[in-house]
Amino acid sequence: MYTVCVRDHFMIAHSLKGDVFGPAERLHGATYVVDVEFRRGELDDAGIVVDIGRATHLLEHVLADLDYRNLDDAPELEGANTTTEFLARLIFERLGARIASGELGQSARALESLRVCLHESHVAWAAFEGRLPVAPS
Amino acid sequence: MYTVCVRDHFMIAHSLKGDVFGPAERLHGATYVVDVEFRRGELDDAGIVVDIGRATHLLEHVLADLDYRNLDDAPELEGANTTTEFLARLIFERLGARIASGELGQSARALESLRVCLHESHVAWAAFEGRLPVAPS
Amino acid sequence: MYTVCVRDHFMIAHSLKGDVFGPAERLHGATYVVDVEFRRGELDDAGIVVDIGRATHLLEHVLADLDYRNLDDAPELEGANTTTEFLARLIFERLGARIASGELGQSARALESLRVCLHESHVAWAAFEGRLPVAPS
Amino acid sequence: MYTVCVRDHFMIAHSLKGDVFGPAERLHGATYVVDVEFRRGELDDAGIVVDIGRATHLLEHVLADLDYRNLDDAPELEGANTTTEFLARLIFERLGARIASGELGQSARALESLRVCLHESHVAWAAFEGRLPVAPS
Amino acid sequence: MYTVCVRDHFMIAHSLKGDVFGPAERLHGATYVVDVEFRRGELDDAGIVVDIGRATHLLEHVLADLDYRNLDDAPELEGANTTTEFLARLIFERLGARIASGELGQSARALESLRVCLHESHVAWAAFEGRLPVAPS
Amino acid sequence: MYTVCVRDHFMIAHSLKGDVFGPAERLHGATYVVDVEFRRGELDDAGIVVDIGRATHLLEHVLADLDYRNLDDAPELEGANTTTEFLARLIFERLGARIASGELGQSARALESLRVCLHESHVAWAAFEGRLPVAPS
């Protein structure tokens, strides 16, 4: 199995709903440093899993929809508890849909799985991994 | 699959038994920076794998039993070769037993696996991963 | 010159005022991973710059006043532009005042300078360094 | 499952063939920081996956064949597109062959899999993982 | 004193001239992860040392002139020994000249010094720091 | 000012004397990841601060005298409180004496200062920096 991983980050405000979160029920924020792993069993004709430049741009576009926002006010996230785990899956779904619609090119349709990891500090991170293809939304 | 990871560290003295260890047969020591990954297929009602605060405290308690000790003198480890691999599994077992006894709450009983990784330097680490539940000792 | 450094983090929401900030004028947030360096020319009688445990607790207390908050609503910061640089100096001032009032013990009065560095992502940080003592506020 | 990982690096020049690579079609270079994970289900008699010292030396020997070279001029790589993914697999194959021929000792024949990860910058890496034994070449 | 630091990277081929370099006399390459620190005694009217976004773009432009090249064939570097130290100073000079010519805006003319650090692996880096302004070339 | 830095590590057991150390009065241990910075105002004829390979070997030799030992039993450290700060200075002195006696070659006599930083965990480090030459012991 081959993997390629690219890294970027985004910075948001939000609050979490539920007694378990204690002080994180208050409006606060986070920098999320995001690692996305792209995986497949065989390389494509160019000898790669996915072009690192294109993968980086794809991630940049997906994160731009979240960056510098208060997620509590995001209409598309209404009712969601935007935990790190939830955001990892959200980014997985959005990346997967764009890959399925061809944004990484034909060869990327052979990608078998993605793993999205969000580092919220130097001592904690959360990740979601799942199989591809994801149906376009 | 979702994962949450928390990090802490502990500092011990020990010696290793066996010709393969060369100078590490002498009494020396290590800082172990510990990453513990908690994994499950679905999030709980609060939208999390496990509460990062509670997971951090659980790890802190388990490491407190080892921290600032000479493991060669630990009665409960008598006869053991306290390699990094051994310690990774030991911490896995102790975390697993505490989770099974409810220390992370009811929801955490749905955790499917743990991975415990001990970084012994900037160029070497060892890990143990296994399924949950672990029977309480 | 001797230095001791300890690390912790805090997570806040805020917005920045000024055209230069572009999208950061919107309410967003950040995780700040904080490194504080304590410096002095000679060690104390115990052979240290400052006790790492006490320094860690002091930093924890200072960061607790900021953690999990929306800085735009903090009465004590009214009118301030809470840039990373500003927050680095704010934490410097607060640490300095507590050191001057004896919270790190008598020996710590010989500290000559502090440097406070806030990492806002894997690709950007800001720092403030200055001499001690800082007058208690 | 137990894992032990060791880290080293090598520095090479090369160019990549194919329109997808854009400016990387030109002769350029890279530092690859290499993490090799050795995995097995049970520890050996000494309580380890593999001796970290021996594993480090094995990796050093394998990387020495690549280090400080222009891979475009390497006869043994003629016709290959030396992408990060390709190099990860190449190192996997070479490590696997040496393990199969006994260079890590008898106990290491129980290793079940290897993962070779090449970090090409602070924002991108590629890896190959596969099962052991690999047939000696 | 305030500091802001931004990080980027570039990837080059080169060879070094001189017996001291041993195998590095051969054509090889490196990834350089570059940290640039901008320093000044007082913040500007917006409360910053320099805008992190603008600083990041400036660094990107300066590195683009070096990225994905064989430095042995760069006409503007003819006769130079492109050691890590040399490259750190080269980037310092180029950044300094652009700052002097106003590319970071008026406020950035108050910058007092720059430090350019090039990480060539996980175990070695080199840096150059100097005062501003640097005369435009 | 130019700087070159190399990294290595060592692993020791020790105990600290004094009430301030709390549990660290017990015999325990640490991995110290060591960064040594070599500094000078002008490069030598080869265009370097110091040869990274030679600097790495020098550090290796100095650390070999401490590695895999119980410092409480080291005759040459009798009576010393082997805090991280103390060890940083000890390594500074030993490196400085070897440089003064020519182990890094003639050119290295132009080195102006050294900084030795010991990382004892992911959240704490200590350093000593001083001017060269140090008198050979």
D133 preceded by cis ω (within 30°)?
A: yes
Half-sphere exposure of F26 (CA within 13 A, CB side): 16
The SS3 assignment for E4 reads strand
Q: Do chains D and B touch (3 or more CB pairs under 8 A)?
A: yes
* Chains interfacing with B (3 or more CB pairs < 8 Å): A, D, E, F
Q: Is F45 helix (H, G, I), strand (E, B) or coil?
A: coil
**A49 and C106 in contact (C-beta within 8 Å)?**
no
Q: What is the pLDDT of residue E16?
A: 98
Mean pLDDT of chain C: 96
Cβ-Cβ contacts under 8 Å between D and E: the total is: 86
CA atoms within 13 A on the CB side of A68: 9
Four-CA torsion F45, F49, F51, F55, nearest 10 degrees: 150
Q: What is the DSSP string of C63-110?
A: HHTTTTEEGGG-GGGTT----HHHHHHHHHHHHHHHHHTTTT-SGGGG
pLDDT digits (tens, 9 = 90+) for E68-80: 999 999 999 999 9
Residue E8 falls in which region: left (phi positive, over 0), alpha (psi -120 to 50) or beta: beta
Convert the pLDDT of each residue in A56-106 to its tens digit: 999 999 999 999 999 999 999 999 999 999 999 999 999 999 999 999 999
CB pair distance less than 8 Å for D1 and B124: no
* Contacting partners of chain E (3+ CB pairs under 8 A): B, C, D, F
pLDDT at B23 over 60: yes
Contact F30, F83 (CB under 8 A): no
Contact criterion met (CB < 8 Å) for E20 and F52: no
Residue D137 pLDDT exceeds 60: no
Specify whether the CB–CB gap between E123 and F6 falls below 8 A: yes
Q: Of all residues in chain B, what percent carry a pLDDT higher than 90?
A: 97
Distance from CA of D124 to the nearest CA of C (A): 13
Q: What is the mean pLDDT of residues F41-48?
A: 96
Exposure letters B34-56 (e unless 16+ CB within 10 A, then b): bbbbbbbeebbebbbbbbbebbb
Is D122 touching C (CB cutoff 8 A)?
Answer: yes
Q: Please name the residues between 45 and 64 in chain C that touch chain F, using a CB distance below 8 Å.
A: 45-49, 51-54, 56
Q: Give exposure, D75-99, as e/b (b: 16+ Cβ within 10 Å).
A: eebeebbbbbbbbbbbbbbbbbbbb
pLDDT band of E30, cuts 50, 70, 90: very high
* Helix ranges, chain A (H): 52-64, 84-100
The CA distances from residue D7 to D4, D108, E120, F16, in Å, are 10, 18, 15, 31
- How many Å lie between the alpha carbon of A121 and the closest alpha carbon of chain F? 12
**Residue E137 pLDDT > 80, yes or no?**
no
Task: Reply yes or no on whether the pLDDT at D94 is more than 90.
Answer: yes
Q: Round to whole Å and give the CA distance between F33 and F118.
A: 6
Global pTM reads 0.97
Instruction: Tell which residue, F96, F18, F93, F128, has the closest CA to residue C40.
Output: F128
Q: Does F72 touch chain C (CB under 8 A)?
A: no
Chain-centre distance for alpha carbon B31: 13
Checking if the pLDDT of B137 tops 80, the result is no
The answer to whether E122 faces chain B, any CB pair under 8 Å, is yes
What HEC string does E61-118 produce?
HHHHCCCCEEHHHCHHHCCCCCCHHHHHHHHHHHHHHHHHCCCCCHHHHHCCEEEEEE
What CA–CA distance (Å, rounded) separates D37 from D88?
Answer: 12
Which of C12, C27, C72, C84 to probe the A interface (max A CBs under 10 A)?
C27
- pLDDT at res. F29: 98
Please tell me the predicted confidence (pLDDT) of residue F117: 98
Confidence band of A135 (pLDDT split at 50, 70, 90): low
Average pLDDT, chain F: 96
Query: Rounded mean pLDDT of C51-57?
Result: 97
Smallest CA–CA distance from C49 into chain F, residue: F85
The token duo for D34 is 């290499």
pLDDT-based confidence at residue B135 (cuts at 50, 70, 90): low
Residues, chain C:
137
**pLDDT for position D136:** 55
User: Which one-letter DSSP state was computed for residue D133?
Assistant: P
- pLDDT tier at A134, thresholds 50, 70, 90: confident
- For residues A78, A81, A87 and A92, what is the CA-based torsion angle, rounded to 10 degrees? -70
Quick check: E88 and E127 in contact, CB under 8 A? yes
Query: Nearest Cα to F74, choosing from F85, F87, F58, F61?
Result: F87
CA of B83 vs chain E CAs: smallest distance (Å): 25
Q: What is the DSSP letter of C47?
A: S
pLDDT band at F84 (very low <50, low <70, confident <90, very high): very high
F135 pLDDT tier (thresholds 50, 70, 90): low
Cβ proximity of D36 and D5 under 8 Å: yes
Counting Cα atoms < 13 Å in the Cβ hemisphere of E48 gives 22
Measured between alpha carbons, how far is B71 from D38 in angstroms, rounded to an integer?
26
Task: Return all residues near F57 (Cβ < 8 A) that are at least 6 apart.
Answer: none
Rounded alpha-carbon distances, angstroms, from residue C27 to A69, A120, C13, C24: 6, 18, 7, 7
What is the three-state SS of D50-104? CCHHHHHHHHHHHHHCCCCEEHHHCHHHCCCCCCHHHHHHHHHHHHHHHHHCCCC
| Interchain contact B122–D (C-beta under 8 A) | yes
pLDDT of residue D101: 94
Three-state DSSP class for residue B14: strand
pLDDT per residue as tens digits for the range D98-128: 999 999 999 999 999 999 999 999 999 999 9
**Residue E121 backbone phi and psi in degrees, to 5:** -165, -175
d(CA D62, CA D34): 11
Task: Give the pair of three-digit tokens for residue C92.
Answer: 């410097």
Give the nearest partner residue to C26 out of A28, A68, A123, using CB atoms.
A68
CA separation for the pair C29, A68 (Å, rounded): 7
Interacting residues of D37 by C-beta distance below 8 A, sequence separation 6+ = D3, D4, D5, D114, D115, D116, D117, D129
**How do strand E69-70 and strand E2-14 relate by DSSP bridges?**
parallel
Q: Which residues contact F88 (CB under 8 A, 6 or more apart)?
A: C2, F116, F117, F118, F126, F127, F128
pLDDT digits (tens, 9 = 90+) for D7-58: 999 999 999 999 999 999 999 999 999 999 999 999 999 999 999 999 999 9
pLDDT digit string (tens) for B86-111? Answer: 999 999 999 999 999 999 999 999 99
| Residue F21 confidence class, pLDDT cut points 50, 70, 90 | very high
CB atoms within 10 A of CB F122: 18
Q: What is the mean pLDDT of residues E103-121?
A: 96
B3–A127 C-beta distance less than 8 A: yes
User: What are the backbone angles phi and psi of residue A47, rounded to the nearest 5°?
Assistant: 85, 25
| Partners of residue D25 in chain A, C-beta under 8 Å | none
Residue contact C49–F85, C-beta within 8 A? yes
In the structure, do chain F and chain D come into contact, i.e. share 3 or more CB pairs under 8 Å?
A: no
- What is the percent of chain C with per-residue pLDDT over 70, rounded to a whole number? 98
Structure tokens at A96: 């997967």
A47 contacts D123? CB cut-off 8 A: no
Which H or E run includes E121? strand E113-121
Q: Which residues of D touch E122 (CB under 8 A)?
A: 7, 9, 33
C128 DSSP β-pair partners: C116, E2
Q: Taking chain B, what is the end-to-end CA distance rounded to the nearest angstrom?
A: 28
- Record: contact D29-E28, CB cut-off 8 A: yes
The position carrying tokens 């400085």 is F96
Which residues of chain F does C1 touch, with a Cβ-Cβ cutoff of 8 Å? Answer: 128-130
What token pair was written down for A69? 């926002």
Q: Say what the pLDDT of residue B136 is.
A: 55
Tens-digit pLDDT profile for residues C12-49: 999 999 999 999 999 999 999 999 999 999 999 999 99
- Report the alpha-carbon distance of residue A59 to residue A107 in Å, rounded: 17
Contacts of A80 in chain B (CB under 8 A): 47
Q: What 3 state SS string does F73-95 have?
A: HCHHHCCCCCCHHHHHHHHHHHH
**pLDDT of residue B72 exceeding 90:** yes
Residue A137, pLDDT > 80, answer no
In this prediction, residue A57 carries a pLDDT of 98
Hey, are the CB atoms on B83 and D48 less than 8 Å from each other? yes
Contact call for residues A34 and A63 (beta carbons, < 8 A): yes
Residue type, D102: G
Chain A residues in contact with B117 by the CB 8 A cut-off are: none
Residues of chain A with pLDDT > 90, as a percent, come to 97
Query: 10 Å Cβ neighbour count for C64?
Result: 12
